[in-house]
Structure 1
Amino acid sequence: MTANYENHPPLGKKKLIMVMAGLMVGLLVAAFDYSIMGTTMPQIINSLQGMEYYAWPFTAYMLTSTISLILFGKLSDIYGRKHVLILGIIIFIVTSVLCGFSTSMLQLIIFRGLQGIGGGILLSLPFTVIGEIFSPRERAKYMGILGSVFGVADVLGPILGGVITDTWGWR
Protein backbone atom coordinates (compact mmCIF):
# COMPACT_ATOMS: atom_id res chain seq x y z
CA MET A 1 0.00 0.00 0.00
CA THR A 2 2.55 2.61 1.05
CA ALA A 3 6.30 2.65 0.92
CA ASN A 4 8.52 2.85 3.92
CA TYR A 5 9.55 6.45 3.53
CA GLU A 6 11.86 8.48 5.79
CA ASN A 7 11.88 6.11 8.76
CA HIS A 8 8.11 5.63 8.82
CA PRO A 9 6.77 2.09 8.77
CA PRO A 10 4.34 1.30 5.98
CA LEU A 11 0.74 2.12 6.80
CA GLY A 12 -1.86 -0.59 6.74
CA LYS A 13 -5.12 0.09 4.93
CA LYS A 14 -7.08 0.79 8.13
CA LYS A 15 -4.43 3.13 9.53
CA LEU A 16 -4.11 4.89 6.17
CA ILE A 17 -7.85 5.58 6.14
CA MET A 18 -7.71 6.89 9.72
CA VAL A 19 -4.76 9.19 9.00
CA MET A 20 -6.29 10.55 5.80
CA ALA A 21 -9.71 11.03 7.42
CA GLY A 22 -8.18 12.93 10.33
CA LEU A 23 -6.11 15.15 8.08
CA MET A 24 -9.07 15.82 5.78
CA VAL A 25 -11.41 16.74 8.64
CA GLY A 26 -8.90 19.20 10.08
CA LEU A 27 -8.30 20.73 6.67
CA LEU A 28 -12.03 20.84 5.96
CA VAL A 29 -12.74 22.78 9.14
CA ALA A 30 -10.14 25.40 8.23
CA ALA A 31 -11.33 25.56 4.61
CA PHE A 32 -14.96 25.94 5.71
CA ASP A 33 -13.92 28.90 7.82
CA TYR A 34 -13.02 30.90 4.73
CA SER A 35 -16.17 30.14 2.77
CA ILE A 36 -18.62 30.38 5.66
CA MET A 37 -17.18 33.67 6.92
CA GLY A 38 -17.55 35.23 3.49
CA THR A 39 -21.26 34.48 3.60
CA THR A 40 -21.92 35.41 7.21
CA MET A 41 -19.80 38.55 7.42
CA PRO A 42 -22.52 41.01 6.28
CA GLN A 43 -24.81 39.82 9.07
CA ILE A 44 -21.96 39.96 11.60
CA ILE A 45 -21.02 43.49 10.54
CA ASN A 46 -24.65 44.57 10.78
CA SER A 47 -24.99 43.05 14.25
CA LEU A 48 -21.80 44.63 15.58
CA GLN A 49 -22.25 47.93 13.69
CA GLY A 50 -18.74 47.85 12.30
CA MET A 51 -19.00 48.58 8.59
CA GLU A 52 -15.86 50.75 8.64
CA TYR A 53 -13.90 47.73 9.89
CA TYR A 54 -15.32 45.22 7.39
CA ALA A 55 -11.96 44.04 6.06
CA TRP A 56 -10.16 43.81 9.40
CA PRO A 57 -11.38 40.37 10.57
CA PHE A 58 -10.26 38.87 7.24
CA THR A 59 -6.96 40.76 7.30
CA ALA A 60 -6.17 39.76 10.89
CA TYR A 61 -6.91 36.12 10.11
CA MET A 62 -4.80 36.09 6.94
CA LEU A 63 -1.86 37.83 8.59
CA THR A 64 -1.67 35.51 11.59
CA SER A 65 -2.34 32.37 9.56
CA THR A 66 0.47 33.26 7.16
CA ILE A 67 2.89 33.83 10.03
CA SER A 68 1.81 30.65 11.79
CA LEU A 69 2.43 28.57 8.65
CA ILE A 70 6.14 29.27 8.94
CA LEU A 71 6.48 29.36 12.70
CA PHE A 72 4.52 26.21 13.51
CA GLY A 73 6.02 24.36 10.57
CA LYS A 74 9.39 24.74 12.25
CA LEU A 75 7.94 23.94 15.68
CA SER A 76 6.45 20.75 14.25
CA ASP A 77 9.93 19.78 13.04
CA ILE A 78 11.15 20.14 16.61
CA TYR A 79 8.20 18.84 18.68
CA GLY A 80 6.45 16.52 16.23
CA ARG A 81 3.61 16.98 13.75
CA LYS A 82 0.96 15.30 15.89
CA HIS A 83 1.42 17.55 18.91
CA VAL A 84 1.43 20.75 16.86
CA LEU A 85 -1.60 19.62 14.84
CA ILE A 86 -3.53 18.91 18.04
CA LEU A 87 -2.49 22.34 19.34
CA GLY A 88 -3.80 23.87 16.11
CA ILE A 89 -7.16 22.15 16.51
CA ILE A 90 -7.46 23.35 20.11
CA ILE A 91 -6.51 26.93 19.22
CA PHE A 92 -8.94 26.95 16.31
CA ILE A 93 -11.88 25.59 18.31
CA VAL A 94 -11.36 27.84 21.35
CA THR A 95 -10.95 30.97 19.26
CA SER A 96 -13.96 30.06 17.11
CA VAL A 97 -16.06 30.00 20.26
CA LEU A 98 -14.56 33.34 21.32
CA CYS A 99 -15.46 34.81 17.92
CA GLY A 100 -19.04 33.73 18.51
CA PHE A 101 -19.08 35.56 21.84
CA SER A 102 -17.70 38.80 20.38
CA THR A 103 -19.70 41.86 21.39
CA SER A 104 -17.71 44.41 19.40
CA MET A 105 -15.75 44.61 16.19
CA LEU A 106 -12.50 45.00 18.12
CA GLN A 107 -13.12 41.71 19.93
CA LEU A 108 -14.00 40.00 16.67
CA ILE A 109 -10.85 41.30 15.00
CA ILE A 110 -8.64 40.15 17.88
CA PHE A 111 -10.29 36.73 18.10
CA ARG A 112 -10.12 36.26 14.32
CA GLY A 113 -6.43 37.08 14.49
CA LEU A 114 -5.94 34.44 17.15
CA GLN A 115 -8.09 32.02 15.16
CA GLY A 116 -5.76 32.54 12.22
CA ILE A 117 -2.97 30.92 14.23
CA GLY A 118 -4.97 27.70 14.53
CA GLY A 119 -6.17 28.00 10.94
CA GLY A 120 -2.63 28.34 9.65
CA ILE A 121 -1.61 25.20 11.48
CA LEU A 122 -4.63 23.29 10.13
CA LEU A 123 -3.97 24.46 6.58
CA SER A 124 -0.28 23.63 6.42
CA LEU A 125 0.48 20.57 8.52
CA PRO A 126 -1.73 18.04 6.69
CA PHE A 127 0.31 18.59 3.53
CA THR A 128 3.54 18.27 5.49
CA VAL A 129 2.36 15.00 7.00
CA ILE A 130 1.49 13.65 3.55
CA GLY A 131 4.94 14.63 2.31
CA GLU A 132 6.51 12.87 5.23
CA ILE A 133 4.67 9.55 5.29
CA PHE A 134 4.36 8.80 1.56
CA SER A 135 7.01 8.18 -1.02
CA PRO A 136 7.39 10.76 -3.80
CA ARG A 137 5.60 8.39 -6.19
CA GLU A 138 2.47 8.21 -3.99
CA ARG A 139 2.58 11.75 -2.67
CA ALA A 140 0.76 13.43 -5.57
CA LYS A 141 -2.22 11.09 -5.27
CA TYR A 142 -2.70 11.79 -1.56
CA MET A 143 -2.05 15.53 -1.93
CA GLY A 144 -4.79 15.55 -4.57
CA ILE A 145 -7.16 13.79 -2.21
CA LEU A 146 -6.39 16.41 0.46
CA GLY A 147 -6.81 19.19 -2.08
CA SER A 148 -10.32 17.96 -2.91
CA VAL A 149 -11.36 19.22 0.51
CA PHE A 150 -11.10 22.79 -0.77
CA GLY A 151 -13.55 22.04 -3.58
CA VAL A 152 -16.05 20.63 -1.11
CA ALA A 153 -15.61 23.65 1.18
CA ASP A 154 -16.00 26.12 -1.69
CA VAL A 155 -19.27 24.53 -2.77
CA LEU A 156 -20.84 23.73 0.60
CA GLY A 157 -19.41 26.58 2.71
CA PRO A 158 -21.55 29.43 1.39
CA ILE A 159 -24.64 27.24 1.54
CA LEU A 160 -23.90 26.21 5.13
CA GLY A 161 -23.09 29.80 6.06
CA GLY A 162 -26.44 30.98 4.72
CA VAL A 163 -28.41 28.20 6.36
CA ILE A 164 -26.66 28.64 9.70
CA THR A 165 -27.10 32.41 9.85
CA ASP A 166 -30.70 32.29 8.65
CA THR A 167 -31.64 29.47 11.01
CA TRP A 168 -29.64 30.02 14.21
CA GLY A 169 -27.87 33.34 13.73
CA TRP A 170 -24.22 34.12 13.19
CA ARG A 171 -23.11 33.36 16.73
Structure 2
Amino acid sequence: MIVLALPRGGVPVGYEVAQALSVPMDVLLVRKLGMPGQEELAMGAIAGGDVVLNEDVVRHIPQDDVAAVIRRESSELRRRDAAYRSGRPVAEIEGRIVIVVDDGLATGASMRAAVQALRPRNPKKIVVAVPIAPRSTRREFAMIVDEIACLVTPEPFSAVGRAYKDFTQVSDDQVRSLLR
Protein backbone atom coordinates (compact mmCIF):
# COMPACT_ATOMS: atom_id res chain seq x y z
CA MET A 1 0.00 0.00 0.00
CA ILE A 2 1.16 3.54 -0.76
CA VAL A 3 -0.28 7.03 -0.40
CA LEU A 4 0.14 9.32 -3.40
CA ALA A 5 -0.61 12.94 -2.53
CA LEU A 6 -1.51 15.65 -5.03
CA PRO A 7 0.65 18.72 -4.41
CA ARG A 8 0.51 21.03 -2.95
CA GLY A 9 -2.60 21.01 -0.78
CA GLY A 10 -2.97 17.24 -0.77
CA VAL A 11 0.49 16.66 0.69
CA PRO A 12 -0.28 17.65 4.32
CA VAL A 13 -3.49 15.58 4.17
CA GLY A 14 -1.65 12.66 2.52
CA TYR A 15 1.08 12.85 5.14
CA GLU A 16 -1.49 12.37 7.91
CA VAL A 17 -3.11 9.45 6.07
CA ALA A 18 0.27 7.78 5.47
CA GLN A 19 1.25 8.24 9.13
CA ALA A 20 -2.07 6.83 10.36
CA LEU A 21 -1.70 3.76 8.10
CA SER A 22 2.09 3.42 8.58
CA VAL A 23 2.66 3.31 4.83
CA PRO A 24 5.01 5.25 2.52
CA MET A 25 3.94 8.44 0.78
CA ASP A 26 5.00 10.04 -2.48
CA VAL A 27 3.63 12.81 -4.66
CA LEU A 28 1.60 12.37 -7.81
CA LEU A 29 2.24 15.48 -9.85
CA VAL A 30 -0.95 16.92 -11.28
CA ARG A 31 -1.82 20.43 -12.43
CA LYS A 32 -5.22 21.93 -12.94
CA LEU A 33 -5.62 23.62 -16.32
CA GLY A 34 -7.29 26.90 -15.42
CA MET A 35 -9.44 28.76 -17.91
CA PRO A 36 -7.66 31.77 -19.37
CA GLY A 37 -8.76 34.79 -17.37
CA GLN A 38 -10.51 32.58 -14.78
CA GLU A 39 -7.67 30.35 -13.58
CA GLU A 40 -9.64 28.98 -10.61
CA LEU A 41 -12.17 27.43 -13.00
CA ALA A 42 -10.79 24.11 -14.24
CA MET A 43 -11.04 23.37 -17.94
CA GLY A 44 -9.09 20.19 -17.28
CA ALA A 45 -5.92 18.84 -15.73
CA ILE A 46 -2.61 17.23 -16.65
CA ALA A 47 -0.79 14.35 -14.94
CA GLY A 48 2.04 12.17 -16.13
CA GLY A 49 1.61 13.39 -19.69
CA ASP A 50 -2.13 12.66 -19.65
CA VAL A 51 -4.36 15.63 -20.39
CA VAL A 52 -7.98 15.46 -19.30
CA LEU A 53 -10.16 18.25 -20.73
CA ASN A 54 -13.71 19.27 -19.92
CA GLU A 55 -15.04 19.38 -23.47
CA ASP A 56 -18.07 21.44 -22.43
CA VAL A 57 -15.68 24.18 -21.28
CA VAL A 58 -12.85 24.03 -23.84
CA ARG A 59 -15.10 24.15 -26.88
CA HIS A 60 -15.65 27.83 -26.04
CA ILE A 61 -11.92 28.60 -25.81
CA PRO A 62 -9.54 29.09 -28.75
CA GLN A 63 -7.35 26.00 -29.20
CA ASP A 64 -4.20 28.16 -29.14
CA ASP A 65 -5.17 29.38 -25.67
CA VAL A 66 -5.79 25.82 -24.46
CA ALA A 67 -2.40 24.72 -25.87
CA ALA A 68 -0.67 27.66 -24.16
CA VAL A 69 -2.15 26.70 -20.78
CA ILE A 70 -1.07 23.07 -21.29
CA ARG A 71 2.50 24.19 -22.12
CA ARG A 72 2.66 26.49 -19.09
CA GLU A 73 1.34 23.86 -16.67
CA SER A 74 3.58 21.14 -18.16
CA SER A 75 6.54 23.41 -17.46
CA GLU A 76 5.36 23.84 -13.86
CA LEU A 77 5.05 20.05 -13.49
CA ARG A 78 8.67 19.65 -14.61
CA ARG A 79 9.75 22.31 -12.09
CA ARG A 80 7.87 20.61 -9.28
CA ASP A 81 9.25 17.21 -10.23
CA ALA A 82 12.79 18.58 -9.84
CA ALA A 83 11.91 20.46 -6.65
CA TYR A 84 10.09 17.64 -4.86
CA ARG A 85 11.85 14.49 -6.02
CA SER A 86 15.47 15.67 -5.86
CA GLY A 87 16.38 12.86 -8.25
CA ARG A 88 14.32 10.14 -6.52
CA PRO A 89 12.51 7.85 -8.93
CA VAL A 90 8.72 7.78 -9.20
CA ALA A 91 7.23 5.32 -6.72
CA GLU A 92 6.51 1.82 -8.02
CA ILE A 93 2.79 1.12 -7.79
CA GLU A 94 2.27 -1.99 -9.90
CA GLY A 95 0.26 -4.52 -7.89
CA ARG A 96 -0.10 -2.16 -4.91
CA ILE A 97 -3.13 -0.57 -3.32
CA VAL A 98 -2.79 3.15 -4.09
CA ILE A 99 -4.53 5.75 -1.96
CA VAL A 100 -4.66 9.03 -3.89
CA VAL A 101 -5.15 11.98 -1.55
CA ASP A 102 -6.00 15.63 -2.11
CA ASP A 103 -7.27 18.39 0.15
CA GLY A 104 -10.72 18.03 -1.41
CA LEU A 105 -12.58 17.71 -4.68
CA ALA A 106 -14.62 20.40 -6.36
CA THR A 107 -14.93 19.55 -10.06
CA GLY A 108 -12.50 16.64 -9.65
CA ALA A 109 -10.51 17.52 -12.80
CA SER A 110 -7.09 17.09 -11.18
CA MET A 111 -8.06 13.83 -9.49
CA ARG A 112 -9.53 12.48 -12.75
CA ALA A 113 -6.21 13.17 -14.49
CA ALA A 114 -4.37 11.50 -11.60
CA VAL A 115 -6.52 8.38 -11.82
CA GLN A 116 -6.12 8.27 -15.61
CA ALA A 117 -2.33 8.53 -15.26
CA LEU A 118 -2.25 5.72 -12.68
CA ARG A 119 -4.28 3.11 -14.59
CA PRO A 120 -1.52 2.12 -17.07
CA ARG A 121 0.86 1.58 -14.11
CA ASN A 122 -1.32 -1.40 -13.03
CA PRO A 123 -2.12 -0.72 -9.40
CA LYS A 124 -3.97 -3.48 -7.56
CA LYS A 125 -6.60 -1.00 -6.39
CA ILE A 126 -7.12 2.78 -6.59
CA VAL A 127 -8.69 4.50 -3.60
CA VAL A 128 -9.43 8.23 -3.67
CA ALA A 129 -9.36 9.81 -0.21
CA VAL A 130 -10.43 13.42 0.41
CA PRO A 131 -11.87 15.33 3.35
CA ILE A 132 -14.58 17.10 1.32
CA ALA A 133 -16.39 16.91 -2.02
CA PRO A 134 -19.81 17.69 -3.44
CA ARG A 135 -22.13 14.68 -3.56
CA SER A 136 -22.21 14.72 -7.35
CA THR A 137 -18.41 14.55 -7.63
CA ARG A 138 -18.25 11.81 -5.01
CA ARG A 139 -20.82 9.79 -7.01
CA GLU A 140 -18.77 10.27 -10.22
CA PHE A 141 -15.62 8.97 -8.54
CA ALA A 142 -17.45 6.01 -7.03
CA MET A 143 -17.92 4.83 -10.62
CA ILE A 144 -14.31 5.32 -11.81
CA VAL A 145 -12.20 4.12 -8.85
CA ASP A 146 -12.27 1.02 -6.70
CA GLU A 147 -13.17 2.98 -3.58
CA ILE A 148 -13.71 6.57 -2.46
CA ALA A 149 -13.31 7.82 1.09
CA CYS A 150 -14.79 11.27 1.68
CA LEU A 151 -15.51 12.66 5.13
CA VAL A 152 -18.08 15.32 4.26
CA THR A 153 -20.33 16.10 1.31
CA PRO A 154 -22.03 19.37 2.21
CA GLU A 155 -25.11 20.53 0.35
CA PRO A 156 -24.93 23.02 -1.04
CA PHE A 157 -21.22 22.70 -1.79
CA SER A 158 -19.44 26.04 -2.13
CA ALA A 159 -15.67 25.46 -1.98
CA VAL A 160 -13.05 23.05 -0.66
CA GLY A 161 -11.53 25.79 1.49
CA ARG A 162 -14.73 26.16 3.50
CA ALA A 163 -13.96 22.84 5.24
CA TYR A 164 -10.71 24.19 6.73
CA LYS A 165 -9.97 26.60 9.57
CA ASP A 166 -6.68 27.42 7.82
CA PHE A 167 -6.60 27.04 4.04
CA THR A 168 -3.44 29.01 3.33
CA GLN A 169 -1.29 28.00 0.39
CA VAL A 170 1.10 25.10 1.05
CA SER A 171 4.65 26.06 0.05
CA ASP A 172 7.21 24.04 -1.89
CA ASP A 173 9.34 23.97 1.27
CA GLN A 174 6.46 22.45 3.25
CA VAL A 175 5.96 19.82 0.55
CA ARG A 176 9.68 18.90 0.56
CA SER A 177 9.70 18.74 4.35
CA LEU A 178 6.70 16.40 4.51
CA LEU A 179 8.14 14.17 1.78
CA ARG A 180 11.34 13.73 3.80
TM-score range, shorter chain: under 0.3
TM-score, normalised on structure 2? 0.27
TM-score, normalised on structure 1? 0.28
| More contact order relative to length (CA 8 Å, sep ≥ 6) | 1
Who wins on radius of gyration, i.e. which is larger?
A: 1
Query: More strand by proportion, 1 or 2?
Result: 2
Query: More helix by proportion, 1 or 2?
Result: 1
